Structure 1
Amino acid sequence: MTPRSIDEITARADEFADMFEGYDPKPGDLDAPVPPVMAVKLAAWRRDVAERELADAVRAAREQRLSWREVGNAIGTSGEAARQRYGATA
């Protein structure tokens, strides 16, 4: 394969941009199955986001003087377990 010039790469990028900008979803496009590896990656990403949000919420709750028991009850665990898990960040 021959090396591509900047002009060729730019032209191809413009083609892709035009395709994306003009994309009109068809019925069923959004319901297409997700490949298993992507489903795992997506679930792991969602878990990471949820964990960060939970840690932020626990930190805010502790700043408002909620007890570890109250925090634990809110997340479905004991106050001691909540303190052990989130105490360093709260």
Structure 2
Amino acid sequence: MARSVEEILRQSEVIARQRHLPEGESDSPLERLRQAVVGRGEAERRLLEAVRAAREAGCSWATVGAILGTSGEAARQRYGPLQDA
């Protein structure tokens, strides 16, 4: 099941606060996975900022959705509630 942007951001913040693996394990599969999750959170944050900027510039949800590869309604449902967050 797809998670909301808010859930992804919340999870990435939790993981980012967790301690790194012991020295010598920085290239372990778990550390690479942790880094990927943090990176996904950062990418989602940049995407949300870009959606906010587009909406503030007057772009419609249909246009935003088209760029995201979805419908305007799906984009509004996913990012609309986060506009004021």
Q: TM-score, normalised by structure 2?
A: 0.64
Instruction: Give the one of 53, 59, 68 matched to 1:75.
Output: 68
Instruction: Give the one of 63, 67, 76 matched to 2:56.
Output: 63
Shift in Å, 1:44: 0.2
Which string of whole-angstrom CA distances, capped at 9 and with x for unpartnered residues, describes residues 5-63 of structure 1? xxxxxxxxxxxxxxxxxxxxxxxxxxxx9210011101000000000000010000000
2:59 corresponds to 1:52: no
Amino acid in structure 2 at the alignment position of 1:41: R
Q: TM-score, normalised by structure 1?
A: 0.61
Aligned length: 58
Q: Answer with 1 or 2: which has the greater Rg.
A: 1
Structure number with greater CO (CA < 8 Å, separation at least 6) is 2
Listed as ranges, the gaps of 5+ residues in structure 1 are 1-32
2:32 corresponds to 1:39: yes
